[in-house]
Structure 1
Amino acid sequence: MKKFLLPLLFLFLFLLESLFVQYLPENVFGRNRILVPHFLFAAILFLTIFVGKKQGIIYAAIFGLLFDIVYVEIIGIYLFVYPFISYLVSKIMQILQTNMIIAFLVSIFGIALLEVGVYEMNHLIHVTNVDFMSFINLRFYPTLILNAAFIIIAGYPLKRLFEKHAEALRVE
């Protein structure tokens, strides 16, 4: 049963993102802003930080492909970016200490990389015509604030869960 807990958690977060977008009021910040929840990706980054690079990259690739299939017209953007950023986070965590503050900052950095990377890929293939400063003001900052709030709320329970998972993997 414990083997299915992690995939079920990630599947729940995957579904929670779409429900969050669907039921979020339009003018949360008083003006039209685009809030993009990256709850799943934040959890994958926590998995990478507290369990290990291998599991983080595997889950990032699986859910990046799933994200591409369900939400994006072009297969491959999230399939590439999720594992790449998970790999970068694993390399960063080899240098830094593993604690909640560092995990929070590195996760926010990873989400910022994800947002900018996806914007640049979409801009490169002419899917979007929004200039960079409009992107920063309309989508980037609100997205970082939303995901920072999620990490503050869910970070510690995720940390505890992933530390128990890592201990169970060491025992096996």
Structure 2
Amino acid sequence: MRYLPFLIVFTLFLIEGTWYQMVVPHPLENGWMLIPRFTIVTLIICAIFRGPVLGMFYGLSIGLLYDFIYTDVLGIYMFSAAFTGYLFAFKLPQVQRSFVWILIVSMLGFSVFESLVYVLHLSIGTIHLSGEVFFYHRLLPSLGLNALLAMLLIYPMRKLMRYLKLREQSRDEAV
């Protein structure tokens, strides 16, 4: 049961790489690119409840998969996802209780992740995309898409994380 969050993150990784690519054309007619990062959003939600070490571990694991499958340069996604999972692990009760705070933190984390990936790719010369095009045609539309997903995932993930925490506490008390 304790591996269920990682199984959910991994399943979303598979969905964003297969199903989503068939449903939404790339890029849209208005030049927007909707980049699904369901995995990153869920990783941040898990990190909010489980802490920075778990967020970093999930980030390393999923980032390595991103690197192997989607890029020719190893390490960009792995570093960015691990950094984001560690940085946005606000394990504060005020954040964990509030739907709005979880949404804000996860979208801020998503934005930092996308920006970090963009800057790293730009610095090594693997992409040639202006900052304005990145921001208006890629980051903002993707932020909207991933915010919608986050709104759907926050409540069930929060419930799952609370259940796992209670289960761990009862197991620790039994020992």
Superposition TM-score, scaled by structure 2 size: 0.88
Deviates more, 1:125-134 or 1:15-24: 15-24
* Residues 52, 87 of structure 2: 8 Å contact kept: no
Deviation at 1:60, TM superposition (A): 1.4
> Which secondary structure state, in structure 1, belongs to the residue aligned with residue 110 of structure 2?
helix
Cα distance 1:28–1:127, how it changes in 2: closer, same or farther (>3 A)? closer
Write the deviation string for residues 112-143 of structure 1: whole angstroms up to 9, x where unpaired: 00111111111101111111001111101111
Write the deviation string for residues 131-171 of structure 1: whole angstroms up to 9, x where unpaired: 10011111011110000010111211111112212222333
Residue equivalent to 1:147 = 146
Cα distance 1:157–1:95, how it changes in 2: closer, same or farther (>3 A)? closer
Cα distance 1:27–1:57, how it changes in 2: closer, same or farther (>3 A)? closer
Deviation at 1:24, TM superposition (A): 2.6
Deviates more, 1:18-27 or 1:148-157: 18-27
Cα distance 1:119–1:27, how it changes in 2: closer, same or farther (>3 A)? closer
Unaligned runs of 5+ in 1: none
* Residues 26, 32 of structure 1: 8 Å contact kept: no
Residue equivalent to 1:97 = 95
Residue equivalent to 2:108 = 109
User: What letter matches 2:49 in structure 1?
Assistant: F
* Residues 32, 138 of structure 1: 8 Å contact kept: yes
Residue equivalent to 2:51 = 52
Deviates more, 1:56-65 or 1:118-127: 56-65
Question: Aligned residues, how many?
Answer: 170
* Residues 76, 117 of structure 2: 8 Å contact kept: yes
* Residues 21, 36 of structure 1: 8 Å contact kept: no
RMSD over aligned Cα, in angstroms?
2.0
Unaligned runs of 5+ in 2: none
